[in-house]
Structure 1
Amino acid sequence: MEPVRNSFTVDLRRLGVLRELDRRGSLARTAEALHLTPSAVSQQLAALAREVGVPLIERQGRGVRLTGQARVLLEHAAALAAQWERARADLAAWEEGGRGTVTIGAFSSAITGLLPPALGLLTAHRPDVTVSVVEAEPPDLFTRLDGGDVDLAVAVDFAAAPPHTDRRYTRVDLLADVLDLALPASHPLADRARVPLRELAADPWIVGDARSCCGAITRSLCAANGFTPDIRHPVGDWASVAALVGAGLGVALVPRLVRPPQRPGLVLRAPVGRPPVRHVFAAVRAGSENDPVLAAVLTRLREAAAQVTAQTEDTENAGDTE
């Protein structure tokens, strides 16, 4: 490997491949996320290593790992990406945000319960902004954000999401989405106002994919209460979850963002103790938060989140829906 030169040119797209390898941990998973072949990923990383003059990956067993130099480069890559986004935002601001388009990536519950009021507010204040919505969850959601396929991400804090300290993103906390227990009306515990989660250890559960935010959170909450849920129905669609619970086929944790309407045979109860919540946030590429279009969307998301929080609190105070 050549020594580090005083001047070198770096292809930002290759830095993106290195960032994805850091996130995914293997060449195969990186290739799958970027829709490339493992050979193409290796070639991109080798070219980047030649550009900067330092080794970036090294063998570890049958796989690879990032070198110390690669991690130093990633720190600088985050700063470069943020500066580039600030430049784009400044150029957009030059036109005073007269018109614009934005693509929002979000998980399904946010698309159901948060984006409609937010985009309604946006349309009322900024009819010149065109919005597209795509459904996605971490880590794929942030791969799309990094690649520019989406401009703004709405996600939940859980293991697959980036940490608060990730310098690649500017994040805005939106709301704490409380999870309630959905029980069949015939369940022995259905007449209680609050139900101990541990007492549902023997029940069949309806839980989504473990890679989804709600699936991961449900499993974590059950584990924290000392049991592994007996997942009879791996279903992630909330209307289907409500239908199965109403038919007496199991129990589930349901976020208030998708609180089901009155349905015969189903009751919602709060778990005993501190209410389980999932924290919903918005994120943009660091430096792009001053883009006038993105700033407008973030403002309306915050307003809609405040409305949703107030509505769920009013519903809670009025009593459980059956």
Structure 2
Amino acid sequence: MDPRRLLFLSELARLGSMQRVADELDVTTSTVSQQIAALGRELRVRLIEPDGRRVRLTPAGRRLAEHAATILAGIDAARRDLGSDEPGGTVTVAGFATGIRQALIPVIRRLAADRPRITLHVHEHEPPEAMAALAAGAIDLALVYDYSLAPLRVEPSVEVTRLWTAAWALGVPAAAGPQAIEPVPEPAAAADSPATLRQFRDHQWIVNSRNTADEDALRIIASMADFEPEIAHRADSLDLVQDLITAGHGVGLLPADGAVAPGIRLLPLTNPPALLRAFAVTRRGHTQWAPLALVRRMLVEHASRMTEGKTAVRTAGPTAG
């Protein structure tokens, strides 16, 4: 089998349309069609079939595409072992804004410096949007999150790689009086999350407008405190959440180690904890494609350095200034 024909088939499985394959490989759609047709004749099997105005892989085509990814990855590995060309291509990633800022942009910088043949295209999406795009073949990697109290549901067709975990806290107006916030000595202040939320049962609450993960976690803790929060505001931007809290229009979850605006107080939540967990999700078998495998590995490495840095800061503690 001609590896280049396998490449056309593998890219069709990854990108979902002949036009996108043609754009990626800088050829015409006619060339893509002809090469895949030639591969099918060589193997005496039908690899594609009509799907409206487009085409889709047949079951045999999908199976061969999986083999193609393995074969092409082996060829890439052999080339690297012999000191030949570096892997190259365009990897499309969809992720949530905070994850893109914290983890993906540093990876983009490293790729530009060390792997210029690999290009990253970035789409900002909340997890449900990113997972839908991954399932549709529109992206190569989804950078998503869930909360430990509301785990992400995934299909067997994907591979999930844990990146980092971050504690979230309850953001409330700093000016809230003693009747609203009962002072609890440290470290006991971090002991009872339901009791912390219960103090704000009569307040309005702010949750994400494009994902229900934080709302699900919030409702679970509130149920332990025997109340149902009044969801009054939905905002995708954490800056907007902080503005609403500062203005006295509600309370909501915020990163426990993040910077907050003057006028906001963070109350720890640890029993049970409100832990945000970030993941890299790919379609099963697709990380045999060298550029995608490299991007995922770099994300894991950067997440490990992020975690080590936070641990070092907590261990060292604050310094006098």
Match of 2:263 in 1: 265
Match of 2:273 in 1: 275
Counterpart residue identity of residue 247, structure 1: A
Deviation at 1:238, TM superposition (A): 0.5
Normalising by structure 1, report the TM-score: 0.64
What is the alpha-carbon distance in structure 2 between the residues aligned to residue 216 and residue 265 of structure 1?
26
**Residue 102 of structure 2: which of 107, 113, 122 is its match?**
113
Match of 1:38 in 2: none
Deviation at 1:204, TM superposition (A): 1.6
Counterpart residue identity of residue 155, structure 1: V
Match of 1:7 in 2: none
Normalising by structure 2, report the TM-score: 0.64
Distance change in 2, residues 1:315/1:237 (3 Å) = farther
**Residue 300 of structure 2: which of 296, 299, 302 is its match?**
302
What is the alpha-carbon distance in structure 1 between the residues aligned to residue 146 and residue 67 of structure 2?
26
Deviation at 1:151, TM superposition (A): 0.5
What is the alpha-carbon distance in structure 2 between the residues aligned to residue 262 and residue 288 of structure 1?
39
Mapping of residues 96-175 of structure 1, within 5 Å: 96=80, 97-157=86-146, 161-163=152-154, 166-175=155-164
* 3-state SS in 1 of match to 2:286: coil
Query: 1:37-66: CA deviations, max 9, x gaps?
Result: xxxxxx979xxxxxx9xxxxxxxxxxxxxx
Q: In 1, are the aligned partners of 2:168 and 2:254 still within 8 Å (CA)?
A: yes
What is the alpha-carbon distance in structure 2 between the residues aligned to residue 77 and residue 215 of structure 1?
41
Query: 1:222-242: CA deviations, max 9, x gaps?
Result: 334432211222222101011
Counterpart residue identity of residue 288, structure 1: H
What is the alpha-carbon distance in structure 1 between the residues aligned to residue 204 and residue 51 of structure 2?
48
Q: In 2, are the aligned partners of 1:118 and 1:303 still within 8 Å (CA)?
A: no
Counterpart residue identity of residue 70, structure 2: R
Mapping of residues 1-322 of structure 1, within 5 Å: 82-83=66-67, 85-87=69-71, 89-90=73-74, 93=77, 96=80, 97-157=86-146, 161-163=152-154, 166-187=155-176, 188=178, 189=181, 192=184, 193=186, 194=189, 196-209=196-209, 211-256=211-256, 260-313=258-311, 318=317
Q: In 2, are the aligned partners of 1:152 and 1:284 still within 8 Å (CA)?
A: yes
* 3-state SS in 1 of match to 2:122: strand
* 3-state SS in 2 of match to 1:98: coil
Please, which moves more after superposition, 218-227 or 105-114?
218-227
Q: In 2, are the aligned partners of 1:190 and 1:267 still within 8 Å (CA)?
A: no
Counterpart residue identity of residue 184, structure 1: P
Q: In 2, are the aligned partners of 1:115 and 1:301 still within 8 Å (CA)?
A: yes
Deviation at 1:266, TM superposition (A): 1.0
What is the alpha-carbon distance in structure 2 between the residues aligned to residue 161 and residue 88 of structure 1?
32
What is the alpha-carbon distance in structure 2 between the residues aligned to residue 114 and residue 107 of structure 1?
11
Q: In 1, are the aligned partners of 2:204 and 2:230 still within 8 Å (CA)?
A: yes
Counterpart residue identity of residue 301, structure 1: L
What is the alpha-carbon distance in structure 1 between the residues aligned to residue 270 and residue 136 of structure 2?
43
What is the alpha-carbon distance in structure 1 between the residues aligned to residue 61 and residue 263 of structure 2?
54
Distance change in 2, residues 1:314/1:182 (3 Å) = farther
Q: Which has more radius of gyration?
A: 2
- Contiguous gaps of at least 5 residues in structure 1: 1-11, 17-42, 46-51, 53-72
What is the alpha-carbon distance in structure 1 between the residues aligned to residue 51 and residue 169 of structure 2?
47
Query: 1:119-169: CA deviations, max 9, x gaps?
Result: 334434323321111122344322321332111111124669443xx3311
- Contiguous gaps of at least 5 residues in structure 2: 1-11, 17-49, 53-57, 81-85, 191-195
Counterpart residue identity of residue 167, structure 2: V
Distance change in 2, residues 1:310/1:160 (3 Å) = closer
* 3-state SS in 2 of match to 1:114: helix
RMSD: 3.6
Q: In 1, are the aligned partners of 2:118 and 2:291 still within 8 Å (CA)?
A: yes
Q: In 1, are the aligned partners of 2:144 and 2:280 still within 8 Å (CA)?
A: yes
What is the alpha-carbon distance in structure 2 between the residues aligned to residue 180 and residue 157 of structure 1?
15
Counterpart residue identity of residue 96, structure 2: F
Distance change in 2, residues 1:205/1:93 (3 Å) = same
